[in-house]
Amino acid sequence: MRVNENILISSLTTMRLGGPARYVLEIERPEDIPDAFGFAATYNLPTFVLGYGANTIGHDEGFNGVIIINRMRGITELSQENDTWTGDANGGSPDARRREPSTVGETLAAGPVQRIKVMGGEYWDDVVAYACERNLTGIEALSKIPGLAGAAPVQNIGAYGQEIADTLESIEVYDIVSHTFKTLTHDDLGFSYRKSILNTTEKNRYFVISITLKLQTGQMPRPFYRSIEKYISDHNSTNFTPQGIRAIVSAIRADKLPDPLEKASSGSFFKNIYLTEAESEIAEAKGYPVYHGKDGHKINSGWLIEKAGFSDKLLHGFRVNPKAALVLINESAKSYQDLAAAREEIINKVYDIYGYWLEQEPVEIINPPVKIPGVN
């Protein structure tokens, strides 16, 4: 375990905001984990588990506590099974099970199932590349999502018709409450859109050591997500292998989404708006574009932000990405207050025009409230 002191959070996160963290501990093996949390407990300091930093925002005052980063890497191939994967691999999230009629019960692949164990500190896109190189389907549409593998199940990452819940079989964790190592299954995790127990009911309880995925030889079924279908039509693409879909998704993302290492951002800053069946009918009657996919009925938040007049606007040092308006690019802001001002301006105007409240996707590193003796 490596111990660092007074490290700027802006240097650990891709939005490049945030003051100093008192300690930053880097975990290099599972045995380090109890020591890291024990270190924090000894000095009565709060902890924050940080991954790649692409979905995390720092505050100006920094963090008077211990940031713990997973540096454990490695991918191991486990057992291979000669079964057939129909629908979603392990059930997916409740939303993911609502597939379009044309794909209900459709066989996604016919080859053998391959389970792989991925250490939590592995870069997620390296995991996708590893799978695609072996012709394994199930995560190719999740290409180029910045982050670490251990963070993938926390918010149930998803894109272009796939989400991690579709293929995740189990995770190995350290239980911070009971001070024990455990295995949590897919069903234990309570997946839904951008949620799991890891960021809701059991938030801050578990440190993810590794994840096990259940992938399969073969290809995604058509129809694909409409952005992929459009790219195929525009470019006359014919390669729908995992490598081919990965190339398509990578090209789409490169055109619309800035590389956070080149332009300070945190990916999609706002979550999409999910609607009930009745709400989706009302929205469509108003002329709003509603996407009906396997994860439910939704309106792209980027469309709302663009139509509200924010595309390419500079707000308090943040540029609204002209190609994907739900992305904010930090061009000159140095303060969290600049971000808060830009966020409020966008949220309020979208609500005033369309009646939908936008929700921020990145989490924030916040100091816990100061406890005053004798005051509740």
Of the two residues 370 and 48, the one the predictor is more confident about is 48
Q: Which residue among the candidates 268, 280, 306, 343 is catalytic per the annotation? A: 268
pLDDT of residue 93: 38
pLDDT of residue 98 exceeding 60, the answer is no
Structure tokens that stand for 75 in this block: 């991918």
Q: Quick one: DSSP state of residue 321?
A: P
Confidence tier at 88 by pLDDT (50, 70, 90):
very low
Each residue's pLDDT tens digit, 18-73: 999 999 999 999 999 999 999 999 999 999 999 999 999 999 999 999 999 999 99
The C-alpha atoms of residue 313 and residue 320 are separated, in whole angstroms, by 5
The C-alpha atoms of residue 239 and residue 232 are separated, in whole angstroms, by 9
Confidence tier at 148 by pLDDT (50, 70, 90):
very high
Confidence tier at 168 by pLDDT (50, 70, 90):
very high
Each residue's pLDDT tens digit, 347-364: 999 999 999 999 999 999
Q: Using CA atoms in the order 362, 367, 368, 371, what is the torsion angle rounded to 10 degrees?
A: -160
pLDDT of residue 108 exceeding 80, the answer is no
**Radius of gyration of the chain measured on its C-alpha atoms:** 21
Burial of 263 (0-12, 13-18, 19+ CB in 10 A): middle
pLDDT of residue 77: 94
Task: List the one residue out of 170, 214, 219 whose CA is nearest residue 80.
Answer: 214
268 as an active site residue: the answer is yes
Q: Which residue among the candidates 28, 229, 345, 361 is catalytic per the annotation? A: 361
Share of the chain above pLDDT 90, in %: 82
- pLDDT average, residue stretch 232-261: 94
Domain boundaries of the chain, sorted by first residue: 2-70, 75-252, 258-363
Confidence tier at 369 by pLDDT (50, 70, 90):
confident
Share of the chain above pLDDT 70, in %: 90
The C-alpha atoms of residue 3 and residue 1 are separated, in whole angstroms, by 7
Q: State which fold the 2-70 domain adopts.
A: 3.30.43
Which residues is 123 bridged to in the sheet?
148
pLDDT of residue 208 exceeding 50, the answer is yes
Q: Which residue among the candidates 16, 194, 246, 319 is catalytic per the annotation? A: 194
pLDDT of residue 227: 92
Highest mean pLDDT among 97-111, 139-153, 282-296 belongs to 139-153
pLDDT of residue 247 exceeding 70, the answer is yes
Instruction: Characterize the bridge pairing of strands 107-109 and 327-330.
Output: unpaired
Each residue's pLDDT tens digit, 178-204: 999 999 999 999 999 889 999 999 999
Task: List the one residue out of 327, 331, 365, 323 whose CA is nearest residue 346.
Answer: 327
- Asked if residues 80 and 113 have their Cβ atoms less than 8 Å apart, the reply is yes
- Asked if residues 25 and 7 have their Cβ atoms less than 8 Å apart, the reply is no
- Asked if residues 199 and 363 have their Cβ atoms less than 8 Å apart, the reply is yes
Name the CATH architecture for the domain at 75-252: 2-Layer Sandwich (3.30)
pLDDT of residue 102: 28
pLDDT of residue 371: 65
pLDDT of residue 260: 87
Confidence tier at 86 by pLDDT (50, 70, 90):
very low
Structure tokens that stand for 140 in this block: 């190719």
pLDDT of residue 193: 84
pLDDT of residue 110: 55
pLDDT of residue 95 exceeding 70, the answer is no
- Same topology for domains 75-252 and 258-363, yes or no? no
CATH number 2.40.128.20 given to 258-363? no
- pLDDT average, residue stretch 134-149: 96
Residue type at 303 in one-letter notation: W
194 as an active site residue: the answer is yes
pLDDT of residue 89: 36
